[in-house]
Structures are given as structure tokens and as C-alpha cells.
Structure 1
Amino acid sequence: MTSVSYSTNRILFQRAAVAMTVIGLIIMVAVILSKNDGMLVYSLDDPYIHLSLAENLLRGHYGINLGETASPSSSILYPFVLALGLGAQLGTYAPLIINIVAMCAAIWLLAGRLFDATASETDHTQSPLRFLTLLTLMFTFSAVALPLTGMEHSLHVLASVMVIVGLADMASQKQAPNWMLIAGIILCPLLRFEGLALSGAALLMIALYGYWTRAILTGGVIVAFIAVYIAAMTSLGLPPLPSSVMVKSSASAAAADSNMTSMVQSIIDNLARAFTHRQAMFVAGFSAVLLLGAVLQSTRAMWPVAIAAALAGAAHIVAGRWGWFGRYEVYVLAFQITAILIVFRPMLTAPNVIRIAPVILIAIGILTAKPYISVTKNTPAAAHWVYGQQFQMHRFATEYFPKAVAVNDLGWVSYDNDTYVLDLWGLGSEQVRKLRAEVGHQPEWITELTREHGVVYAMVYDQWYFGNLPPEWCRIGTLSTPATDLEFIGDVSIYLVDESHGSDLRDALNQFAPTVPQNVTVTVHDCVS
């Protein structure tokens, strides 16, 4: 009877956790809708790159512009998942719905392990302190803010937690790897390339537990998927890794180019940057704590969980990225927090500790969740910024002046837009990525490419070019958004590239200017070079 009661309370706690997540997301979505004229806008412009690729996948094309292949997505699988959402007529709500489902599933798993770590067979009431602990740890998962980035990170968090929980089930129940563990291992690298570290560590643990056949077969599935992806990209004339990974990760770019010297230097530089980031300190500390916790146990039952979580954390420190709205490292902290709840359960549920266990976990949660609390608070403002800047650029490019355009912030401008968009940053153009990697931004090749693609005008951030824009370009307009504490770029400069369209572009800007939101201004210039 006691066992049934414990199980019932555990499920009730998990349901409450999911309800808290959904309520938080509903409130956040309502705030965003109210600030953006009833329109759902994500807190980053990046998801619209994925949506742009997804809409072309439905047309049988891999790229941003029809007729030009490109690999702008940071994920192998996510654009295909979004394509299913677009095919189901979900539109821009597709990323939100997918990410809400993923985050709720991840929180369900977290809540179950939190209940186990703070309850005993004789004391498993639904205490307010346990709910406060849950709320704190939910911020470590960035449970409300992360789905509203519209990116694949919520799915990656879920897959990572599935791996840790699956390893725990395998080790504690002394049973073969279950479907959740196998699915999580396969999904991690298909959602984010850094997921290879956790999947590799988990496969090693499965093999060491004697399930060599399953480890080899599961690893073979991952290799097959990645091999098919690389073969497909190569056949399209694209690099083996996505352009976004190559542009944002010098180590990945060096590895793809087989430049060992550059790769080693990039790893050294990445390590140096990591240890100036507060979240890297927590990841390193949690890795050490997990290994210590496994050693201190009287049995080796949770060694697979501790070792896999520690190894994957160390790998992210070596080659991973940090920050940018708290999305790059959140999956590491999510699976490490879950691993701590599992590995330290015997200690947390000890008779002399059980009462203070939630307090210990709340302290850990507050320390690690601080950046994500700030991100959650700033999410409506970030979404409003995207609405005021990138969405207005999209409106101008599709409704007022649908001509070939050059940009350096690919996303909304390219989504739901069949007119050619030249990405001067290189995510949506392999030509540009190579040129930037070789010589940086230079007026000569920018002029050549804009002429080749018939670009009429450009909407760019001057700060990104250090004076290297073509001198013949005429700055004919400025899109200004109010100053903010968020790490977003301010004004967008609108340049006339093709002089024959000067009068038409100026007229379009004059028509567009009165239609922008109240806190956004469009200034039209005679010509500023």
C-alpha cells in the first residue's frame, strides 16, 4: 500500500511540474502577444532561418534561396521536424508547439527524479518546499525562456535528460538499455552536434555493462545518419558540417578542413574563454562532484550516470559554446542536475539529511539558474526587439520593396520570402562563408557577389563591417529601434546598391515609414556614402 501511495504522489508531482511549465509558458506567450500587436514573435531571429529552410524542404530544396543550396541550420534533424509542423499548417507556431512538448517531457523526467531525491517511503507528502525546489531547478532548465527562442535546444535538453535517466534505469534495475535511452542517444547528435559527447559516453557505459551488441548497433545508427547527412551535403557541393557551425565554431571549421594546427589552437582558445564564463565553472564543478559522489557510494550502481555526465560536461568545456541567451550550455546543466539527483539520491534521502535536502538543491538551483532567470525576465523584451527590427525588415522586403536584398542577419527577411536574399555573413551562402573565412569582409567581393545575384539594396549593421562596405553604396535609409540593455545591435542601415532603383527605393521607404511600430523609426536620407 505504501508503494502505491508513493507512486501516486510521484505522478501527481510530475503532473504539477508540467502544469507549472505550461502555465508559465502561457503567461509568457500572452505577454509577447500583447507587446507585438497580437503576433507571436520568438526571442531570437535565428528560428526563422530554420523555418525558411523548412519551407523550402517542403518544396524539395535544401537552402534559403530556391536554386541555391546552403546549410544554414545548426541541426541535422530540426529543419525536418519544422517541415512537418509547416506541412501541418502550424505556421510560425510550429517551433513553439514542438518546444513546449519537448520541455514538458523534460520537466516530467526532472520532477520524477527530484521526487525520488527528496522523498522516502515513509515521508512522501507534497511539501511546499519540494515545489519550491522544483521551481528553482526549472530555471536551470530554462523551462519557460528556452522554448520561446524557437530553436532546437528544448529538444536537445529532452534528449540529454532521456540519456541520463535511461542510464540510471539500466544501472539500478540491472536491465538492458530501454527505448528511452536508445532514443536519447540517437537523437542527441542529430539535434545538436555537441550531443555526440553525451551519446559517445553513454554508449561506452552501455558497452562496459556488457551490452556490446546494443552499443555497437546504436552507434552504427548514429554513424549511418551522420554519414547520410554528410553524403547529401557533399553531393550538393556543401561542406560536411552546417555553415552555421563552421561560421560560429573555429574548431569545427578547422576539423572539417583537416587543419590540425588550427583545430588545436581553437581548442586552446575555447578553453581559455570557457574558464572566464561562470556557467563553465559550474559544469566543471558538477563534473567533479558527480565523479566524487559515485566513488563515495558503497556500490558502483550509479557510475554510468556519473561518468557519462562528467565526460560530456568536460567535452563541452573543451569545444562547446556559452551564453547567447543562455541556450548553448543549458543542456549540459540540465543533464548534470538530473544526474546529481540520481547519483546523490542515497545521500539526500538519508534520515539525517532528508529534511534539508530541498534546501541544498534550492541553493544549487539558485546559483546555476541566475543567468536563466535574467533570460526569462528579458524574453518579452527580446521578442519585442525582434518584432521591431527583423520583422519590420521582413515587412519591407516582402510588402514594400520585394527586390533582391543583401543582409547580414539572416532570418525573418528570408522566411516566407521568395525574393533572393544574399546573406553577407555566410550562413545562407556557401560562397560568402568561404570568402569570409579566407579574406574577411572586403568591398571587392561584396560588390562582385551583389552584382552576380542582382542585389538592388542592402539592410545591414554597419558595426559588423569596420568600414569594409563598398564605397559606392549609398545609405538611403535607417531603421532605428530604441536602446536596450539586451545584447542586440541597434540601427539597421539601408543601402542603395543598384543606382537605377534609387527613386523606387526612396518612395518605398517613405510609404513604409508611417507603418512601423510606435517605438521604431525609419529615416530616409538623400544619400549618405
Structure 2
Amino acid sequence: MKKYLYALLLVFTAVTGFYFFYSWSLLPPGERFIYQIDDPYIHMAIAKNFALNGVWSINSGGFDSASSSILYTLLLTSLIKLFGIWEFYPLVINVICGYLAIYTVYRYFKDFYGAAELKWAIALLLPFSLLYAMVLISMEHTVHMFLMVLAIYFIHKNVESNFQTKDFIKLLTVVFFVSIVRFESMFFTASLAFAMFLRKDFAKGILVMVAGFSAIVIFGIISEIHGGYFFPNSVMIKGSLPSGNNIVENVVTLVKKGIFLNTSFYKCLFFPFVILIVYLTGKYRSKKINLFFKNETLMITIVSMSIIHSLFAFLKYRYENYVMISVLMVVIPVISAFFKRFNEEKRKLNIANVVMLFSLVMMTVFSLYRFQFMHKPSMVSSKNIYEQQVEMSRFLGKYYRGQKVAANDIGAISYYSGVQLFDIVGLGSTQVAKFKMENKKLPRKVFDEKYRNFLINYTAKNNFVIAVIYPEWFPGKTPASWLPVASWKIQDNKAAAIDRVVFYALETEQVKPLQQNLMKFDLNKNVEQWFYVLK
């Protein structure tokens, strides 16, 4: 069986290594590796400030909960405390967790299934879950995926042992760590507790909830004590809870947007779910429901988690991949069992078999589509981030260190530049997050106008000197008092939110210094700089 482990490791290493070295090769000779999105630098900025200054913020003072992961930020903080500041801790953590995920996948299928399942894992794991891409962006998602695979292993083991104490304690330990790696893990905790309740193991279900929610509750209380929200700003702002007061309408809206009108649901989950439905219908058609609840705890947990995630969170932009690897772990044994039975039946084509075959083909097609979709970004994203976010941070660090700057893509700026940063989107600035939450029920036009005035007044009152933003992200038209001085535009963009950023002077006396600083700055030759003619 070891040959399948070697094959998994080889495929993972080859694919991850190819994109790592190719993307690095596009940077200037001698340049360090740059992460493929801007967000890892947010985690590192918070971890650095927490380690050095004791503040949970992208700035060196205050409390702004911009991190979506308690565990990941604490891991980075610990490494900084132990070994000093180094920008490649996220990459090291992700590489280690990537290999741990591969090994745990192998152990799962080796210990509970066999060679056939391992062959399917070799074929489908990377394109279906995009594990290699998660390693390269170096966020907490790889840690999340590893912990989910580990949780699946121990759920299966507990079902086999009927939740013996020693196995259940191991599962609770994993549940605790899963809960603090990302806040979407609440969906997993709730789903596992639900599956335990269906088994009528109410005490164990409650213990699962305690293990999965206790750390989140403690963090939420600490956050509120320091003036923040119970959940991080990113969760509050990006969450998809309906804003209406009618409960029935809200439920209908959630289901409609999260499932029926959600194209990502069909790409990611629809056909795996069809495979599971056909399998379960055939297996439990004439059996009691209690037997299903007892035997299929793992499947109930993962399917419930996936549905809740689809209703309340994104099934794209990388946020779905802990769901994808979990679903794959559940689906592969079903596929393997189907083909074994299909061959025994001499490939009889009844309706159920045709549906299974078609669903498997479509699942494979969408896996290849996901792999192809990530191909170009995995090659050029480091170059994009280097030419936009890292260059902005280098400019601001050179000419505006310690000064007040407004921005809306905050990662590299917050980690490298040393400015006092105001995030107009609100992920890194609680003042903006609070404004958005307090006014989210307003009609769109009214909200945008009020939001615009809030940003104008806040930056003026607090003496911000310049802004570096995507004008398209500013609510409504940028104010006349914000004087555009220059823009930077990158080419072949796949990673930055928008390919053009604009530098604004927020006071008239800042126009000339900003112009002169931009002219003196040794800007990357691949970035197109354009100066505005001011009247």
C-alpha cells in the first residue's frame, strides 16, 4: 500500500513545486517569493503586532479583528515570539499541513478501505480540492483542510468503535482545533452535533458543541470587551445573512441564493450529492431510519456542513475547499463501491447506474474545470501581488512611514510599510465595520451616500494625508476634496482585485509632496504610472 502514499506525495509535490517555482521565476532575479494573494500579509501584520505590541490589529495600536482565523494568527504569533520576524512562516506552515493532509488521506483510505479508493484519491484529490493552490496562497485554508481530513478519520473511527471514550476524546480534540482555524467551522461543529443527536447520543452531541464553540465564545467576549464585534470584521462584513425581518422570507432567500440560484453549488456539490443520494437510496430503501442515523454519522455531518456553508458563506474564492476535500473523502468510497458492484453486474445500465455514471463524469469535468481555472492565477499571481501590493507598501514605507494613510487592499501595506492604516472597506478598521453593520438595512443609494460622507468626514477629522485605493470600491464618486495625483496599473492581472490603483492627496498641501515622491520612487518597470493634470 505504500506505493499509493508515494504516488500521492509525488503528484502533490510535482504540482505544487511546479507552480511555486514557475510563479517565483516571474519575479525579478534575486527577489524573494511573494504570496499569491494579499491576505497572508494581514495575518502576519496582526501576528507581528500581537507578538511585539500585544495588540490584535493591523496597526501598532488599538483592537481591530481583521483575522478570520484565531489558530493561524496565534501560530504565526508564536513563531515570531520564538524565532523572530520572518515573512515565510505562512509558507512553511502550509507546506507542512499540505503534506500532513496528503498523509492523512492515505491513512484514511488505507485503514478503512483499500487500494481502489486510494487510486481514486490519486486521480481526484488535487483537482477537486485544489490543495496545492491553497498551499501557495499560504492562508489558513490548508490547515483547515488538514484538520477536516483528520476529523473525518476520527469520526469514522468513532462510528466503528461506537464512540469509545478514548476515540471520542481524540475527536473532541480535533473538533476544538477545527473550530478555531476558521469561523466557518461552526458549520462543522453544528453538523456533527446534529448527527450525534440523530444517533440519540445527546450527551456526546453537547460535548461536541462545547469543544467546538467554547474558544469562539471566549474570543468573542474578549473582542467585545475591546470594542469590537463578537465575530471578526471579515465575518460580519462578508456574511450572507438576509437583512429582512420576515423569518420565512429570509429562509426562502437563503435557500434560493445559497442553493437554487448559486452556480457554484452546481459546480462544486450538486453531482457529488446526486452520487450520495443514489447510493443511500439503494442501501437504505427497505431499512429502518435509525440504522441510517447510526451508520452514516460521517456522511450526515459532511453533507449538513456543506449545505449550511452554501447557505451562509461563499462556495468560491478558496473558502469552499475545506468542504470540497471533506465531500471527496465521503464520495470516493461510494464511487469505488459502485464500480465494484457495477462490474459484478456485468455493467448493467439501469436508471440508477446511468445517473451514477453521468454524475461521476460531471464531477470529474468540474474538477478539471477548477484545476484549469486555477492554472493561470497559480502562475502569475505572485507577480501581480509583487507589482501592486508590495510596490505600494514599499512606496508608503519609504515616504509615509508613521503617517496616516487610507487604503482598501491592506495586506502588504500593513505588514511592510509601517503606516497608520485606515481600511475603507472595514476588514482592518472596526470603525468602518461598525458603520456598515449599523446601516446595512438602508436602501443601496442611501447607504452609499451615507458611507461616502462617513469616509470623507472620518479621514478629514483624523488628519489622514493620502489615500491609495481602487476608485471603483469607493461608495459613489470620490470626493472633490480627494485630489487624484497618479495611478499605477499592472498587466495580466489575475490576483489583485483591480489592476489600477489611484493615489489621492487628501489635503491640497499634500499634492506636490505626493507628486515628487512618486516621481522619485524607483517603480517596477512593468507597472504603468500615469499622472493626473490637476486644475
Shift in CA distance, 226/141, structure 1 to aligned 2, threshold 3 Å: same
Q: Which runs of 5+ in 1 are unaligned?
A: 1-8
Which residue is 2:477 aligned to?
468
Q: Output the CA distance in 1 between the equivalents of 2:139 and 2:345.
A: 38
- Asked if residue 153 in structure 1 is aligned to residue 126 in structure 2, the reply is no
Q: Does the Cα contact within 8 Å between 2:189 and 2:212 map onto a contact in 1?
A: no
- The code of the aligned residue for 1:440 comes to D
Which residue is 1:375 aligned to?
374
Q: Output the CA distance in 2 between the equivalents of 1:249 and 1:505.
A: 37
Shift in CA distance, 466/20, structure 1 to aligned 2, threshold 3 Å: same
Which residue is 1:388 aligned to?
387
Q: Output the CA distance in 1 between the equivalents of 2:92 and 2:246.
A: 43
Shift in CA distance, 355/12, structure 1 to aligned 2, threshold 3 Å: farther
Q: Output the CA distance in 1 between the equivalents of 2:71 and 2:307.
A: 25
- Asked if residue 398 in structure 1 is aligned to residue 393 in structure 2, the reply is no
Q: CA deviation at 1:461?
A: 0.8
Q: How does 1:174-323 map to 2 (within 5 A)?
A: 174-176=162-164, 177-178=167-168, 181-206=171-196, 209=199, 212-251=202-241, 260-261=245-246, 265=250, 268=253, 271-272=256-257, 274-281=259-266, 282-297=268-283, 300=292, 302-323=295-316
Q: CA deviation at 1:103?
A: 2.0
**Paired-residue identity, %:** 21
- Asked if residue 50 in structure 1 is aligned to residue 36 in structure 2, the reply is no
Q: CA deviation at 1:202?
A: 1.9
Q: Does the Cα contact within 8 Å between 2:271 and 2:360 map onto a contact in 1?
A: no
Aligned with 2:90: secondary structure?
helix
Which residue is 1:498 aligned to?
507
RMSD: 3.2
Q: CA deviation at 1:470?
A: 2.1
- The code of the aligned residue for 1:82 comes to L
Q: CA deviation at 1:454?
A: 2.3
Shift in CA distance, 355/414, structure 1 to aligned 2, threshold 3 Å: farther
Shift in CA distance, 321/217, structure 1 to aligned 2, threshold 3 Å: same
- Asked if residue 91 in structure 1 is aligned to residue 82 in structure 2, the reply is no
- The code of the aligned residue for 2:296 comes to W
Q: CA deviation at 1:415?
A: 1.0
- Asked if residue 520 in structure 1 is aligned to residue 527 in structure 2, the reply is yes
Q: When you count helix as a share of all residues, which structure comes out higher?
A: 2
Which residue is 1:136 aligned to?
124
Aligned with 2:87: secondary structure?
helix
Q: CA deviation at 1:183?
A: 3.2
Q: Output the CA distance in 2 between the equivalents of 1:525 and 1:379.
A: 34
Q: Does the Cα contact within 8 Å between 2:7 and 2:122 map onto a contact in 1?
A: no
- The code of the aligned residue for 1:155 comes to V
Q: Output the CA distance in 2 between the equivalents of 1:101 and 1:361.
A: 31
Q: TM-score, normalised by structure 2?
A: 0.84
Q: CA deviation at 1:312?
A: 1.2
Aligned with 1:107: secondary structure?
helix
Which residue is 1:101 aligned to?
96
Q: Does the Cα contact within 8 Å between 1:243 and 1:428 map onto a contact in 2?
A: yes
Q: Does the Cα contact within 8 Å between 1:321 and 1:329 map onto a contact in 2?
A: yes
Q: Output the CA distance in 2 between the equivalents of 1:73 and 1:386.
A: 19
Aligned with 1:72: secondary structure?
coil
Q: Does the Cα contact within 8 Å between 1:47 and 1:150 map onto a contact in 2?
A: yes
Which residue is 1:4 aligned to?
none
Which residue is 2:68 aligned to?
74
Per-residue CA deviation, residues 135-162 of structure 1 (Å, 9 max, x unaligned), is 4322212021111222111111122222
Q: Output the CA distance in 2 between the equivalents of 1:376 and 1:85.
A: 32
Q: Output the CA distance in 1 between the equivalents of 2:462 and 2:72.
A: 29
- The code of the aligned residue for 1:39 comes to R
Q: CA deviation at 1:400?
A: 3.1
Q: CA deviation at 1:405?
A: 0.8
Shift in CA distance, 113/342, structure 1 to aligned 2, threshold 3 Å: farther
Q: CA deviation at 1:455?
A: 1.1
- The code of the aligned residue for 2:23 comes to I
Which residue is 1:408 aligned to?
408
Q: Output the CA distance in 1 between the equivalents of 2:523 and 2:328.
A: 44
Q: CA deviation at 1:185?
A: 2.0
Which residue is 2:350 aligned to?
none
Q: Does the Cα contact within 8 Å between 2:196 and 2:205 map onto a contact in 1?
A: yes
Q: CA deviation at 1:15?
A: 3.6
Aligned with 1:382: secondary structure?
helix
Shift in CA distance, 52/90, structure 1 to aligned 2, threshold 3 Å: closer
Shift in CA distance, 443/217, structure 1 to aligned 2, threshold 3 Å: closer
- The code of the aligned residue for 2:67 comes to S
Q: Does the Cα contact within 8 Å between 2:65 and 2:228 map onto a contact in 1?
A: yes
- The code of the aligned residue for 2:528 comes to T
Q: Does the Cα contact within 8 Å between 1:230 and 1:241 map onto a contact in 2?
A: yes
- The code of the aligned residue for 2:273 comes to S
Q: CA deviation at 1:21?
A: 1.6
Shift in CA distance, 279/525, structure 1 to aligned 2, threshold 3 Å: closer
- The code of the aligned residue for 2:57 comes to G
Shift in CA distance, 205/323, structure 1 to aligned 2, threshold 3 Å: closer
Q: TM-score, normalised by structure 1?
A: 0.85
Q: Output the CA distance in 1 between the equivalents of 2:150 and 2:433.
A: 35
User: How many residues get paired?
Assistant: 503
Q: Does the Cα contact within 8 Å between 2:384 and 2:496 map onto a contact in 1?
A: no
Aligned with 1:469: secondary structure?
coil
- The code of the aligned residue for 2:466 comes to Y
Aligned with 2:42: secondary structure?
helix
Q: Output the CA distance in 1 between the equivalents of 2:192 and 2:27.
A: 43
Per-residue CA deviation, residues 454-502 of structure 1 (Å, 9 max, x unaligned), is 2110101111225432211111111111254667302111001122233
